[in-house]
Amino acid sequence: MTEDVLTLTEGAIGRIRLSRPKAIHALTRDMCSAMIAALLDWREDAAIEAVIIDHAEGRGFCAGGDVVMLAKSGESDGAQARAFFHEEYRLNHLLFSFMKPTIAFMDGITMGGGVGISQPARYRIATENTRFAMPETSIGLFPDVGGGWYLSRLPGRIGQYLALTGARLDGAECLALGLATHYLPAASLAEVKARIAADPQGIEAILCQASLPAPEARIEANREAIDRLFASEDYEEILAALEADGSEWAQAQLATLRTKSPQACKVSLRLLYDGARVQDFAHEMRQEYAVAARVVQRNDFVEGVRALLIDKDNAPRWSPATPEGVSDHLIDQIFAPMPEGEEWTPLAL
């Protein structure tokens, strides 16, 4: 077990509390394993009626996964990285298929791996502190942990926009897009959790009573531009559309995309295209595992983590360096099924 996640019960409630504040609760393999063990116990325990997922202290819910470890593994044989992804995706799938009500409190930073453990929840609580993003293209990765499923099901082309640019959403935007089910003031969360623990049958009513009208969702002002300029499944065509558009907003998005890994952007577009057509979440996770197992050992992920998180020179040397250099053949190789016996497998449910 690990001290980085607390698993406990309060009456008829199971509690998962992320407790790695210095890393904004970024997930390790041991944390994923601890959460899986608790969820499997509570799944079979008739006395547990619902599960709350939150963080114990600090300024964010969960900033993602331990990408520095992943990059160091990717530089060698990648075995440790594959083991992490395999366990994390099992956790994601277990939460997605969990029959008892789950409530995730996305108070503060909710990115990457944090999205993977909050989006499967039946109730997803945003606050004025929520900062939601899938910023993986900045480090040569892609929006995994089910991102191909969740982002591809957002309205219009918002999922593609978020996957490519890594744009951050606030709590009101999360509510408007369906990424959150309720918008609560952060100051009320402790009381709300206590009320749920005392009356797990009343979760819906408790959350509705505590909810506030959310501020206007800022992303709505750009919905038309997003749907028009990010309409293509071809990355070069998206860049051309942004270049041809004279608006300040389009030029800002273009400048953002110029900093991202071209390989990661093409992988992300393909992931969402395929994910929209998948009807089984286990199939989605199997595909994402195959992609992650390969991407983690390619130049762009190792280089992206070096540039942004280790050396912090913010000058990644992407390879291929241009979108045109990322061939369809390369993307097909990255998306190929894993060899027999090396595939991702869900827990027996």
> Would you say 273 and 163 are in contact if contact means Cβ atoms under 8 Å apart?
no
- CA-based torsion, 332, 254, 300, 147: positive or negative: negative
Dihedral angle over CA of 110, 113, 117, 123, nearest 10? 20
User: Catalytic: which of 113, 114, 140, 147?
Assistant: 113
Dihedral angle over CA of 91, 97, 101, 106, nearest 10? 50
CA pair distance 275, 107, nearest whole angstrom: 27
CA pair distance 349, 30, nearest whole angstrom: 21
Residue 60 a catalytic site member: no
Sheet of strand 109-111: strand arrangement:
60-62, 109-111, 131-133, 169-170
First to last CA, the chain: 22
For tokens 């992920």, the residue is: 301
Residue 113 a catalytic site member: yes
**145-154 burial, b for 16+ CB within 10 Å, e for fewer?**
bbbbbbbbeb
| Strand blocks (E) in the chain | 5-10, 13-18, 50-55, 60-62, 102-106, 109-111, 123-126, 131-133, 169-170, 182-183
User: Catalytic: which of 144, 173, 274, 288?
Assistant: 144
3-state secondary structure of 214: coil
User: Catalytic: which of 136, 274, 284, 303?
Assistant: 136
Sheet of strand 5-10: strand arrangement:
5-10, 13-18, 50-55, 102-106, 123-126, 182-183
User: Catalytic: which of 65, 112, 146, 159?
Assistant: 65
Residue 234 a catalytic site member: no
Residue 140 a catalytic site member: no
Catalytic residue numbers read 65, 113, 136, 144
